[in-house]
Structure 1
Amino acid sequence: MDLGFLRPLYESDGPVASVHLDTSRDTTDADKKIELRWRHLREELKALGTDEATLDVLEEAIGEGNSRAYGDHGQAVYASEGRLLGEYTLTSPPGQDRASFLPIPDALPLTIDRGRRLPYVLVALDRVKAKVYAYGGHPSEGPVLESENIGENMQNIDGATRIFPGQRGDAGGRRADTGTAQDIWRENAAGVAELVRKAVAKVGAQAIIVGGDDEAIAYLRDNLGPRQLTIPIKVVAGGRGGIDAEERLQESAEECLRELVQREQEQTIDDYHRKLAHDQAVRGTTPTLPMLSEGRVDTLLLGSDREDEPHLWGSTTSPILVDTSPRGLDDPNSAFQAPASALMLRSAVLSDARFSELLEEGEPSGDSGATLRFPK
């Protein structure tokens, strides 16, 4: 996963307040619950030394956050010196509400959440009509883009060119309008394909999920071949044909997304283990730190289990440096302590490394590791 979206969180020289909050709208008293959760975290942040201006900015962002408008979601908010650095909707509510006030943002919960979702395009179609939806790599109230294609149908063909019951077709007995119909379906699919390409470009989609008429899907595949788009096209249940079909399509798409994310994570872990065997990767926090400090990490792998997470040392003057001791930094006088994940993630972001969640047999891990840009 590209970590570029996190860069704005590191644009402050002052300490950063990080909030991860359950903002689900699953009950009629959701507003009150969110208010109480935030009040508790505000008091916690105040006790940690957070200034009032920063607390007020956080409160405004939480009060107006998009995640408060629908469903079971969470919110991640970051602020420093009275300035909002970033506000994000989380796909799932955090396991527990948490807040920190540190020299750097505590961004691992947001990063893990982003890695569990992919930007994608969803298509519902039959041989005449299609709807195309583009969804970003983070939850939202609706699609980032929605478009519709209404193609031609056989009713639009001049009746004089059609063969009706009781009439003969061509010499082979084939109905004369068959070729015409197929040409129309192909032309309709070409129009849908153009909308799909635009939707893919809009959100940087990593998958196209399609439901609907089998023949229409086949025509669409022809128009989105490898020379057009290289991302996978997945066919799922549901499609056009009323509310039930559309709801089934949405449910099928969510299940398909989970499978795609799981497969991508498994491929990343397999690649990591292969590279470990050839000195192209390191396992564990201590071996990973010098690789981060030297800018040699290609992909940083961190687990989401932070129960026994250690604190490490970072530098205010050289942000990619991270060590188990201040003596390992360029200037011990600029050293500070922070949770290991926060420091390692900052180093990865500012050295343009990628990220993946580290899992053990499909379950959250407390370990860390990295694949390298070149062998040890």
Structure 2
Amino acid sequence: MDLGFLRPLYESGAPVASVHLDTSRGNRDADKEIELRWRHLREELTTLGTDEATLNVLEEAVGGGDSQAFGTHGQSLFASEGRLLSSHTLTEPPRQDRATWSPVPDVLPVAVDRGRHQPFVLVALDRVNAHVTAYPAYPNRGPASERDVTGDSLHGIDVMSRGGPGNLGGYNGRFPGKSVAQDMWRDNTAKVAQHVRDAVAEVDAAVIFVGGDQEAISYLRDNLCERRVDVPILLVAGGRGGPDAEERLHEAAAEALREFVVQGQEHVAAEYHRKLAHDQAVSGTEPTLPMLSEARVRTLLLGAARDREPQLWGSPTEPILVSSHRGDMDDPESAFRAPASALMLRSAVMSDSGFTELRENGEPSGDSGAILRYASHT
């Protein structure tokens, strides 16, 4: 996963307040519950020394934006010097409400959540009509966009008549008009393919899910390949044909998305373990730190379980430096301590490293490691 979207959080040289809280809305008391959670976090931030202007701008943002949507979700907010730096809606609530006031933002919950939920496009398709829906990577009150595409039909066109001796009548037979029908269906899916391409670009989709008529889906695949849409196209159950088919389509797409995300994480984990045997990866926090400080990490792997997370040393002037020893900093006198994940992710962001959540048997892990840009000789 590309961490570039986090880079603006490191532009401020002042301390940053990071807030992660449950903003789920499933009952009439949701607003009051969110207010109480925030009040507790505000008290923590006040104790840590957060200035009033920063607290006030956070309070204005709590529960706002896409986190107002009904359902289960969370929110991550970052602010500094009375200015809101960033707001992210989390597709899952944080494991626990949390607030920090530190020289570096606490971004692990955002990175983990972004990696677990990829943007996608969902297509319900038959030979004449299609419904194309684009979903972003974060919870929203609705999809990013919806497009209904209506193509040409065979209504009023006599394509089923015999064409002479040797031609079989009927839908599955041979008849002169059958190629006319197939050409029409191909033209219809060519129109759909352009809308799918636009939807993919709109949300930077990682995958396309398609349900419906098999022959139309085959034509759609061909058209998308011609348009060089380099996104996996996966078939799911359901499609057009009424509420039941559409409900099956959305349920199948949700399950397929979970599997797609897990498979992506497993693919990176498998590569990580292969490269460990050839000195092209390192395992554990201590071996990873010098690799980050030397900008040698291609992909940082961190687990989301932080119960026993150590404190590390960071530099206010050299953001890629991170170590368990103060003396490794460029200016030990100005060095500061912060949670390991916060400093390791800052280093990864500022050295253009990627990120993947590290899991153990499908559950959040507390481990860390890195795939290197080139082999380690240490």
TM-score calculated relative to the size of structure 2: 0.95
8 A contact 1:65–1:75 mirrored in 2: no
Q: Secondary structure at the match of 2:84?
A: strand
Q: Does 1:355 align with 2:349?
A: no
Q: Deviations over 1:241-274 (max 9, x none)?
A: 2222222211111100000011010110000011
Q: Equivalents in 1 of 2:72, 2:136: separation in Å? A: 18
Aligned residue identity for 1:309: E
User: Aligned residue for 2:10?
Assistant: 10
Aligned residue identity for 2:332: P
User: Aligned residue for 2:163?
Assistant: 169
User: Aligned residue for 2:61?
Assistant: 61
User: Aligned residue for 1:33?
Assistant: 33
Q: Equivalents in 2 of 1:210, 1:39: separation in Å? A: 45
User: Aligned residue for 1:306?
Assistant: 306
Q: Equivalents in 2 of 1:344, 1:47: separation in Å? A: 26
Identity of aligned residues (%): 64
Change (3 A) 1:22 1:79: same
Aligned residue identity for 2:222: D
Q: Deviations over 1:116-158 (max 9, x none)?
A: 011211101111110111122222222222212100001153x
User: Aligned residue for 2:268?
Assistant: 268
8 A contact 2:23–2:63 mirrored in 1: no
Q: How does 1:321-336 map to 2 (within 5 A)?
A: 321-336=321-336
Q: Tell me the CA shift for residue 181 of structure 1.
A: 1.5
User: Aligned residue for 2:110?
Assistant: 110
8 A contact 1:317–1:334 mirrored in 2: no
Q: Secondary structure at the match of 1:240?
A: coil
Q: Secondary structure at the match of 1:9?
A: helix
Aligned residue identity for 2:164: D
User: Aligned residue for 2:171?
Assistant: none
Q: How does 1:64-83 map to 2 (within 5 A)?
A: 64-83=64-83
Q: Equivalents in 2 of 1:30, 1:22: separation in Å? A: 10
8 A contact 1:25–1:71 mirrored in 2: yes
- Comparing 217-226 and 248-257, the one that deviates more: 217-226
Which runs of 5 or more residues in structure 1 are unaligned? none
User: Aligned residue for 2:127?
Assistant: 127
User: Aligned residue for 1:146?
Assistant: 146
8 A contact 2:160–2:178 mirrored in 1: no
Q: Tell me the CA shift for residue 320 of structure 1.
A: 0.7
- Comparing 123-132 and 57-66, the one that deviates more: 57-66
Q: Equivalents in 2 of 1:225, 1:251: separation in Å? A: 26
Change (3 A) 1:156 1:121: farther
Q: Secondary structure at the match of 1:154?
A: coil
Which runs of 5 or more residues in structure 2 are unaligned? 169-173
Q: Tell me the CA shift for residue 193 of structure 1.
A: 0.7
TM-score calculated relative to the size of structure 1: 0.95
User: Aligned residue for 1:223?
Assistant: 223
Q: Deviations over 1:9-49 (max 9, x none)?
A: 11111111111111011112111111111111111111111
Across the two proteins, how many residue pairs are aligned to each other? Answer: 370
Q: Equivalents in 2 of 1:332, 1:153: separation in Å? A: 74
Aligned residue identity for 2:199: A
* RMSD of aligned alpha carbons: 1.4
Q: Equivalents in 2 of 1:243, 1:360: separation in Å? A: 39
Aligned residue identity for 1:121: V
8 A contact 2:159–2:181 mirrored in 1: no
Q: Equivalents in 2 of 1:50, 1:220: separation in Å? A: 54
Q: Does 1:187 align with 2:187?
A: yes
Q: Secondary structure at the match of 2:137?
A: coil
